[in-house]
């Protein structure tokens, strides 16, 4: 069962005074059946500079991994321990191979079935648990409080521990040299 995340959104009333527009549990949650990985979408912007929301909730939409190329996305992803999904590895590879999206390149034959890169700058903040970030020829062990800045690199996440790992991601569309 994915964790519930409270989301507080501020804005302005008709007189320009700062107010809370929303204070509730984020509801746009998706769980991948094969991996058990869940993703809670918290906010999306379509342009930079971003337009302030006029009351519509930009997180109540379907969107893939990538942010809009000129925008950003905020989500929290929870990775269950890999031992909990080992029996579904073939299904997991198929699930990831079938997911196609502009700006997302997968390389599941390389090191890990989840190897991918995105045409974005990604800020990843480990909120809880521990996880290994796999790169082409190396890996880094991360724990709560660690922060990663990814610049379009091939990577995968491997939770080799015994408890879920939650990571907050901010992805911002980027111009990349390989496109």
**Residue 158 domain-assigned (yes or no):** yes
Higher pLDDT, 152 or 102: 152
Q: Is residue 10 part of a domain?
A: no
Is 5 contained in some domain? no
Indicate whether 44 belongs to any domain. yes
| Residues spanned by the domain of 163 | 28-173
Total count of domains within the chain: 1
Q: Is residue 12 part of a domain?
A: no
For the chain, the straight-line distance linking the first and the last C-alpha, in angstroms and rounded, comes to 38
| Structure-token pair, residue 77 | 């992803």
Q: 125: domain CATH number?
A: 2.60.120.10
Q: Is residue 179 part of a domain?
A: no
Closest-CA residue to 129 (of 97, 96, 87, 158): 158
Tell me the pLDDT band of 176, cut-offs 50, 70 and 90. Answer: confident
> Does the residue 151 lie in any domain?
yes
pTM as predicted: 0.87
* CA dist., res. 179 & res. 31, Å (int): 30
Using the CB atoms, write b or e for 27-66: b if 16+ within 10 Å.
ebbeebebbbbbbbbbbbbeeeeeeebeeebbbeeebebb
In angstroms, the CA 164 to CA 142 distance is 13
Q: Is the pLDDT of residue 62 over 70?
A: yes
The rounded distance, in Å, linking the Cα atoms of 143 and 163 is 12
């Amino acid at each position: 069962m994915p964790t519930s995340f409270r989301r507080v959104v501020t804005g302005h009333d008709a007189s320009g005074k700062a107010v809370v527009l929303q204070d509730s549990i984020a509801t746009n949650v998706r769980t991948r059946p094969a991996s058990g990985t869940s993703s809670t979408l918290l906010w999306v912007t379509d342009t930079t500079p971003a337009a302030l929301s006029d009351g519509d909730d930009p997180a109540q939409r379907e969107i893939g991994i990538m942010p809009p190329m000129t925008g950003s996305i905020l989500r929290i992803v929870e990775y269950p321990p890999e031992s909990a999904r080992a029996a579904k590895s073939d299904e997991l590879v198929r699930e990831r191979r079938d997911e196609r999206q502009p700006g997302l390149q997968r390389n599941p034959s390389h090191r890990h079935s989840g190897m991918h890169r995105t045409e974005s700058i990604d800020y990843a903040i480990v909120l809880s648990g521990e996880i290994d970030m796999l790169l082409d020829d190396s890996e880094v062990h991360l724990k709560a409080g660690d922060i990663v800045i990814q610049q379009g690199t091939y990577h995968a996440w491997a939770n080799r521990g015994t408890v879920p790992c939650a990571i907050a991601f901010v992805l911002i569309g980027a111009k990349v040299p390989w496109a």
